[in-house]
Structure 1
């Protein structure tokens, strides 16, 4: 691990960018790569009809893994049968009783999509939008445009944990685009342009094993920045990066000391949509059994006005 921190301004000064590629007002970035042709081709991958919803449970009795500065979701019961125990209980014609509850959560405190404007540096969001447009709510590059269009395409599961012969990757363990390609070759699946990448580390299993100690010296495993990796994402026209970790990349880059470099290099600069905290265990087990790693993927985050992210329950079909 380096002892110095390289500013993002310097680190990414020559990094590839898709700003302006889809016009000055674009708010969905590389998701533009997923058009009708990609949707129709992805539908052709459905053969067995097996369905895998890959959202992690919200308000899990065993705990909800979240970014360290966030709190897990809290569900509160508002109405239940006990409501009708009192004399002042509501009355409905015919004798109807009902349950009602509410949830308080960070919009990015569960399986979720990031808005493209979720992170930035040098006062500019995705596509050059002014960072001041985030004040009080995201006027530009919020999660709503992603929710309005939805995300459908061919996805490839890259099981990095099995590829490395581990139950789960270790804290701060890194991998590159070359590792992704090698994993795909071993699995016998072709990576193609405009593929959605599903990457399994099973790292969050550690959260359920060690509890609060999970957050000590917090540094998740994941992709690590290089100019070559970012160029590969640009050349492959990757629309969506989906992983089972909280932040999709190694938390602190061991080579430059910066935090979440790829959030900026891929999401801010290239417009790659980030989907995080997915549950890939059932899917990965099935893929290991039948050897089929290319799947139909569909997702639509909640339509939250000016939101910096939104919960989602993506659907994978084989």
Structure 2
């Protein structure tokens, strides 16, 4: 039986690293690139003021429901109080007779559009910046999502539409692309990917989720389309000082490398080693159509995940303003 190599072996003895670049206590990683100057550079991209919210709906009742990584489920929401609570004598009384609705929810914090914490994925016993992986036991004590949420993410966003570039409604299962493909697609769009850009990539995968309406297609031998690992790709991300990778897939990369069978290689090489924030399950269809219509593929990108203490990730509704 074929066995994938260990991550340390796969990535090599001296992979590109940003550990220590922002000090021994850093928990923000490459988001440190997004300072006030970068926020203003993002604001400078706004022309028409059109606003696009990039979160998928949570708790959608219609088929096919909400996409989520295998083993997770979408939000389980239920009413706690509604008008029926006063059908008998059980509803609370307020002077004047006001009534209200209330609900609760059980969710996977990464069960919708969400940010990963930098400590979410690791190998060889260490998280981002060299933190001990045992600091995850019971709670994410280091490199949780909270520092990302406290900072907020604001900068110039650029959208690379790989599906449109390849003439498809959506990429095929397991279809891969590289940083060179990103550069070629950007050039075709009349766009240059600049240092510190927040990089959004459309594969059309969420469009396929809703239009095909066949979850079994997605979860059978789960293997989404996406970026595939090479050392050159990691070096490109490092040299470009990309702070944030945002895609419309559940895992932000091809789930299984086609030659080696290694999974989550970019979570390890980009997030764990370079400190690049990952944003997943992002709705890019409306934004992509608007960008294609007038040929403007850059915009102000803003996001702040929920401030979950010790969280491995948190839901988010990013906003792009053109």
Normalising by the residue count of structure 2, what TM-score does the alignment of the two structures yield? 0.97
For residues 1-318 of structure 1, the aligned pairs below 5 Å read: 3-12=2-11, 13-61=13-61, 62=63, 63-208=65-210, 209=212, 210-318=214-322
Segment drifting more, 40-49 vs 114-123: 40-49
CA shift, 1:104, in A, is 0.9
> What secondary structure sits across from 2:39 in the alignment?
helix
Give the aligned length.
317
| Unaligned stretches of 5+ residues in structure 2 | none
How many Å separate the matches in 2 of 1:86 and 1:105? 31
How many Å separate the matches in 1 of 2:215 and 2:68? 12
CA RMSD of aligned residues (A): 1.1
Q: Deviations over 1:49-68 (max 9, x none)?
A: 00001000000123010001
How many Å separate the matches in 1 of 2:5 and 2:115? 28
CA shift, 1:3, in A, is 4.3
| Unaligned stretches of 5+ residues in structure 1 | none
How many Å separate the matches in 2 of 1:47 and 1:213? 40
1:206–1:214 Cα contact (<8 Å) kept: no
**Aligned structure 1 segments of 4 or more residues deviating by more than 3 angstroms:** none
How many Å separate the matches in 1 of 2:261 and 2:169? 27
How many Å separate the matches in 1 of 2:267 and 2:16? 14
How many Å separate the matches in 2 of 1:213 and 1:45? 38
